[in-house]
Amino acid sequence: MQCNLCCSENILLKFTKRYDNKYWRIYECQECQVEYVCHNYSQEEVLEIQKSYFNLNNTSTDNSIYWKNELAIIMAIGYNSGAILDVGCNDGQFLSICSTPWKRYGIELSTAGDLAREKGITVINKEITEYKFPDNFFDVVTMFAVIEHLKDPKGLLKEINRILKPDGLVVIMTGDKNSFKARTKGENWHMYCPPIHLWFFSRKSLDLLAESCGFKSIYHRYTSGGMYWSKNRLFQIIEKCFVKSIFEKWFKQIPFYDHLYAYYRKEQ
Ligand SMILES: [Zn+2]
């Protein structure tokens, strides 16, 4: 057996996860650290699972404060305008924050894309590799909570490299399996939910994957993703008052919380 990303044959079975009344084998590559679910689903079957998942999770929750912050970070890095593509744009909450002068495109395979279209966003209801955008077309491509769902993350990143302009930016948000939070939760980490999630990255494995697809890491940060550590109300208050307010600027550079935001520039 080979690692699906780096082709190493140094693979170990990490654990077997019971989820949705089935047992799933999760392997870890000893070279690049990526973990992945062993499954026999076809590309079409994976897509059907993802579609039902996103349709079920399409809510009208207002997360605009998070999206405004995300756009502010992209602009602070030096990307202020141009064509932006959000892969897995859901109902368009992030792209609706990106007003003029951005030209907004979204990829969404579920019916949530209809809601994004109503917000004036150009939404493509096809896989990115099927649609065939022109070479060097986008200034920024974002993927929030998408890469862990894919059948072929490497194929998608190579396609993103093709459609990004030279020096273009790709932003990837996913869970970090090596973060302190994920390590303390162990096999019960909420991201281990196969076959909804098929890949589990560390910062190192994501950097190695991006580099192999022609990208250079330029920035990263960690957040709690708005989620609390504990269900206990007292712990939540302590976390909100101390960790999230006083220490957050320091925490965002270290893998304490498990939401990893990684920023990569396309190499010339
Ligand atoms: Zn590997």
Q: Classify residue 164 by its DSSP letter.
A: E
Alpha carbon 116 to chain centroid, angstroms: 19
What pLDDT was estimated at residue 59? 55
Q: What residues make up the domain containing 42? A: 11-266
What pLDDT was estimated at residue 38? 86
| C-alpha of residue 203 to centroid of ligand 1, in Å | 13
What pLDDT was estimated at residue 52? 67
Kindly state whether residue 25 falls inside one of the protein's structural domains. yes
Q: Which residues of the chain are modeled with pLDDT < 70?
A: 50-61, 244, 247
What pLDDT was estimated at residue 27? 95
Answer for the pair 260, 74: CB distance below 8 angstroms, yes or no. no
| C-alpha of residue 159 to centroid of ligand 1, in Å | 20
Kindly state whether residue 4 falls inside one of the protein's structural domains. no
Kindly state whether residue 169 falls inside one of the protein's structural domains. yes
Residues 6 or more apart whose Cβ sits within 8 Å of residue 242: none
Kindly state whether residue 2 falls inside one of the protein's structural domains. no
Kindly state whether residue 98 falls inside one of the protein's structural domains. yes
169: β partners: 140, 265
Domain count, the chain: 1
Kindly state whether residue 139 falls inside one of the protein's structural domains. yes
| C-alpha of residue 73 to centroid of ligand 1, in Å | 30
| C-alpha of residue 2 to centroid of ligand 1, in Å | 8
CATH number at residue 21: 3.40.50.150
| C-alpha of residue 153 to centroid of ligand 1, in Å | 12
Answer for the pair 84, 71: CB distance below 8 angstroms, yes or no. no
Kindly state whether residue 243 falls inside one of the protein's structural domains. yes
Mind listing the pLDDT tens digit for each residue in 40-90? 887 777 777 766 666 544 555 677 888 999 999 999 999 999 999 999 999
